[in-house]
Amino acid sequence: MSKTALLFPGQGSQSVGMGEEFYQQYDFVREVFDMAEETLKMHIAKLCFKGPMEELTATVNLQPAITTVNLACLAVLKNEGIDFDFCAGHSLGEYSALNAAGAVSGQDTIQLVFKRGRLMHRESLKHRGSMHAIVGLPVEEVESLVADVQSDGVVSVANHNSELQIVITGAPKPVEKVSMLATEKGAKSIPLKVSGAWHSELIKGAEEEFQAVLAEINFNPPDKSVVLNVTGDIATEAEEIKTCMGRQLCSPVKWYPAMKKMMEKNIEIFVEVGPGKVLAGLLKKILPDDCPAKVFNVGNMRQLEAFLKENK
């Protein structure tokens, strides 16, 4: 098969009904859900398939729910004999990528995202925060605006998603101020529906505790190339990955550099594995018009059939 990369989505890709088609179709997908439900003593299938959306979107529920669906979609691809060379995941999705690469077991992956979600939720209740997407300015200009406003309170870059899509995070007032300055420069500012200032100093209180959780988990050297959020580069050592995951909560997601790294490796097929089309949409903005790479989604039966039609 052509050189292939799997991309795993995170928060923001959820929808009621996600994963249900695969759950009904495949016994091994039901086993993935059963494993997650047994590990956490949560009704994850009911949450994913029936919602309601408000309950599904709560961080403590959403992180294990999306991760379970990601792992279920990965299991479908494995069942079809699909192999891959590289993988990456956006923020929460990085845990699914680590499982795909053999760095962390499925059960440990589910445990980690559950505990991560609880800690993030706890910190969001202590420190009110917000996030805005700034569209139309390069990261250097956004970082300059952030630096100008930091004396007003906590604000920083959360995600470098594409060349001209940067998400900022922090306390509501400085985030609003950076957004206002960005719009004065011709950018568009879009408030995001989030319950906390993810990837900011406002959730720093979760970091040390989560690092202690990570310390108890066995990380293996990956058997596939993983491109990490914290560095935007390939990691090959188990301890390096564990250290980066300890920093990931409060560090910017370097998604654009990660995708550029994959482009350097001449990836021919990119597959977003999980619900939604967020990462495929970003990638289509990142890839040059003359790039021959193809972009697919595998989150339901129709998408799976379309992918297999071209790649088997």
Which of the residues are catalytic? 91, 199
User: What Cα–Cα distance (Å) separates residue 44 from each residue in 26, 29, 98, 169?
Assistant: 17, 13, 21, 29
Nearest CA-CA partner of 247 in 225, 231, 224, 227: 231
CB 182 within 8 A of CB 142: yes
In eight-state DSSP terms, residue 270 is E
- Strands 269-273 and 4-8, how do they pair? parallel
Nearest CA-CA partner of 258 in 116, 159, 167: 159
User: What Cα–Cα distance (Å) separates residue 298 from each residue in 30, 113, 240, 275, 295?
Assistant: 17, 22, 30, 8, 10
Distance CA 178, CA 142 (A): 8
* Percent helix, strand and coil across the chain, each to the nearest 5: 55, 15, 30
User: What Cα–Cα distance (Å) separates residue 265 from each residue in 31, 181, 233, 262, 268?
Assistant: 34, 37, 11, 5, 9
Question: What is the enclosing helix (H) or strand (E) of 89?
Answer: strand 86-89
Distance CA 227, CA 222 (A): 11
Nearest CA-CA partner of 6 in 297, 202, 300: 297
